[in-house]
Amino acid sequence: MKDIAEFIAGFERFQTKYFRDERGLFSRLRQGQEPRALVISCSDSRVDPAMLTGADPGDLFVVRNVANLVPPYRHEAEAPGIRAAIEFAVKTLEVGHIIVLGHSGCGGIQALMEGEGVTQHRYEFVGAWISIAMRARERVLRELPQKSPALQCRACEQAAILVSLENLLSFPWIGEAVDQGRLALHGWHFDIDSGELLAYSAETSTFDSLLSAPNLGQAEKS
C-alpha cells in the first residue's frame, strides 16, 4: 500500500497548489476546456506529455496507447476509441496542433521488430495493435538490414511516427483542416538516454533536435 499512499500524498500536493494557492486556473477550467494541442503519446510510464512540455492542466488533450499509434481512418471501424478522441479534439475542441510523441526504448516497437511469432506467443492483443505500424518495420528491415537491433528499433520508432502522421491525414476532416491552415501536425521523438527532443522536418525528411541535449556532466560539476 506504500505506492498508493504516495499517490494520495501527491494528490494532496496537487489539491493544495490548484485549489488553495492557485485557484484561478481551475476556476476557469470549470467553465470548460480549451486545450491548445492534441498529443498522441505512448502509454510508457517514463514519457508524460504534460511533464515533458511543462503544460498546466487544460493545456493538452492527451491520448495514450501502446507505441503512440494512430490507425487509419475507417468509418464504423472496430475499436473506435482513439478515432473518437481524435474526432472530439479536432471537431469540438478545435485544437490547433496534433503532436505524435514517440520515444526511445519503446516496448511496443521492440515487439513489432521482434516479429509476429514473439507477439503471438507473449501477448493476446499487442500484436494486432502494433501491426498498424507494420510498414514502418518493413521499411527499416529493407533499408537497414545490416544494422544492430538497437539501431533498427530506433529507426522504427521514428518511422512509426511518420506512419501515424500519414494515417492522421487519411481522416478527411483532418486533411481539410491542415489544408486550410487551421491545424498543424508534428512528429516528435523523445530520447530518454540523452534527454533530447527531436522533431520531424518534412523539408529534410529527418528528425532534428528542437533543443540541444543538456550537458548533465557539466551541471553535476558546477
Task: Tell whether 141 and 201 lie within a shared domain.
Answer: yes
Same-domain check for residues 95 and 162? yes
Amino acid found at 123? Y
Q: What is the residue-averaged pLDDT of the chain?
A: 91
pLDDT tens by residue, 116-141: 656 667 788 899 999 999 999 999 99
SS3 124: coil
Provide the pLDDT for residue 221.
42
Q: Are residues 85 and 18 in the same domain?
A: no
Q: What is the pLDDT of residue 219?
A: 44
Task: Say if residue 22 is in the same domain as residue 67.
Answer: no
Q: Does the pLDDT value for residue 199 go beyond 50? A: yes
Please give the tally of structural domains in the chain.
2
State what percent of residues in the chain have pLDDT above 90.
79
Percentage of residues in the chain with pLDDT exceeding 70? Answer: 91
C-alpha cell at 110: 521492440
CATH of the domain at 110: 3.40.1050.10
Verify that 27 and 55 share a domain, yes or no.
Answer: no
- Do residues 44 and 133 share a domain? yes
27-39 tens-digit pLDDT? 899 999 999 999 9
Residue 18 is classified by DSSP as I
Digit-coded pLDDT (tens) for 73-92: 987 766 689 999 999 999 99
Q: Note whether 39 and 18 are same-domain residues.
A: no
Q: Specify whether 95 is located in the same domain as 112.
A: yes
Using DSSP, state whether 157 is helix, strand or coil: helix
Task: Return the bridge partners of 209, or none.
Answer: 198
Instruction: Tell me how far apart the alpha carbons of residues 170 and 165 are, in angstroms, rounded to a whole number.
Output: 9
Per-residue pLDDT band for 107 (boundaries 50, 70, 90) equals very high
Contact between 99 and 186 under an 8 Å Cβ cutoff? The reply is yes
Domain range for 25? 1-32
Alpha-carbon distance of 5 to 193, in angstroms, equals 30
Q: How many CB atoms lie under 10 A from the CB of residue 5?
A: 9
Q: Give the pLDDT of residue 215.
A: 62
Instruction: Please determine, for residue 220, whether its predicted confidence score (pLDDT) is greater than 50.
Output: no
Same domain for 93 and 162? yes
Q: What was the pLDDT predicted at 121?
A: 75
**Overall average pLDDT of the 137-156 stretch:** 97
Bridge partners for 64 per DSSP: 41
Q: Which residue has the cell 498543424?
A: 184
Is the same domain home to 84 and 167?
yes
Count of other CB atoms within 10 angstroms of residue 44:
19
Note whether 40 and 24 are same-domain residues: no
> 4-48 pLDDT, tens per residue?
999 999 999 999 998 988 888 898 999 999 999 999 999 999 999
Cβ(106)–Cβ(66) below 8 Å: no
Q: 124: burial class by Cβ within 10 Å (0-12, 13-18, 19+)?
A: exposed
The reply to whether 177 and 71 lie within a common domain is yes
